[in-house]
Amino acid sequence: MKKNILVIGGTGKTGRKVVQNLQALQHHVRVGSRKATPAFDWENQDTWPTALEGIDAMYVTFQPDLAVPGAYDSITALVDLAQQSGIKKMVLLSGKGEKEAERCEQIVIQSDIDHTIIRANWFNQNFSESFLLEPILAGHVALPQAEAKVPYVDTGDIAAVATEVLLNDQHNGQIYELTGPTALTFEEVVHEIATATGRSIQFTPISMDAYTQMLKEIELPADYIWLLNYLFTEVLPAAENNKITADIEKVLGRKPKSFSTFVSETAATGVWNPAVVETA
């Protein structure tokens, strides 16, 4: 039976892949974004009822992260509306080891809606589609918490898990923690990317204060700076967040994509190669 599924954040790192997966399976997919028709805008609740109308299930991502101030109120309002709208299933993307995000999870868990929680570790794609791409292109990555090891997870694997749990009720009530198969330091990550691209990319450990100042100088939004501070000071240093889980294999019956495979595939696209400026 084909379902009507709303993917909130349907143009984002995981959401767009969930949309592709569901469309390939011929489900009826509504992309939840400000530019979609009908639109879904987290900052304009008047857009929500039309976006949820006629929907059976929904995949929910919150930008920039469930841990940020304001997310709790937004998720509360969304869950209330989803219950009124007759939504039967909700899959929430959360952050592994983020205590603030777990408050938002509880809103979904305590609702009357069938649900699955996906707690994902840091994405592989943070290095190719997000805030770490620019320093890689510049050839110099400076970050705090240099000693922290992170089992980066691929957004393709997250999307595959999200698709599976959206469509199969056997996952109702479950919390899955998704990681990649190997934990790496930032320096190890930069070395892998440099090797794969044949470039010289340097890594420099810096203090949290220096990093925060750098973020302010490049004029990142205040909520994004708050989030990065939270992730670097509260989430990355916690030992339990470096633990590798088997939940991707549990759900999908296969191993997660390794960071090395991600690097090899991504290097082949040329995204890590700085644009060459031709001179006369």
Q: Residue 254: is it exposed, middle or buried by C-beta count within 10 angstroms (0-12/13-18/19+)?
A: exposed
Domains of the chain: 4-121+154-179+243-256 (3.40.50.720)
CB 177 within 8 A of CB 119: yes
CA 132 from chain centre, in angstroms, equals 14
Flag residues of the chain having pLDDT under 50: 277-280
Q: Are 12 and 6 in contact, with CB atoms under 8 Å apart?
A: no
Handedness of CA 217, 220, 223, 227 (dihedral sign): negative
H helices of 56-197, in order, are 71-84, 99-109, 133-138, 155-167, 186-197
Per-residue model confidence (pLDDT) at position 280: 42
Q: Please give the model's pTM, rounded to 2 decimal places.
A: 0.95
- Residue 57 to residue 108: CA distance in whole angstroms: 13
Q: b/e for 205-236, b at 16 or more Cβ within 10 A? A: eeeeeebbeebeeeebeeeebbbbebbbeebb
Determine the pLDDT at residue 135: 95
Q: Tell me the pLDDT of the chain averaged across its residues.
A: 95
90 CB neighbour count, 10 Å cutoff:
23
Please count the residues of the chain.
Answer: 280
Please name the helix (run of DSSP H) or strand (run of DSSP E) that holds residue 117, with its range, or none: strand 114-120
pLDDT tens digits, 11-60: 999 999 999 999 999 999 999 999 999 999 999 999 999 999 999 999 99
3-state secondary structure of 264: helix
Q: Quick check: bond before 256 cis, omega within 30?
A: no
Structure-token pair, residue 175: 């919390």
- The whole-number pLDDT of residue 224 equals 87
d(CA 162, CA 251): 10
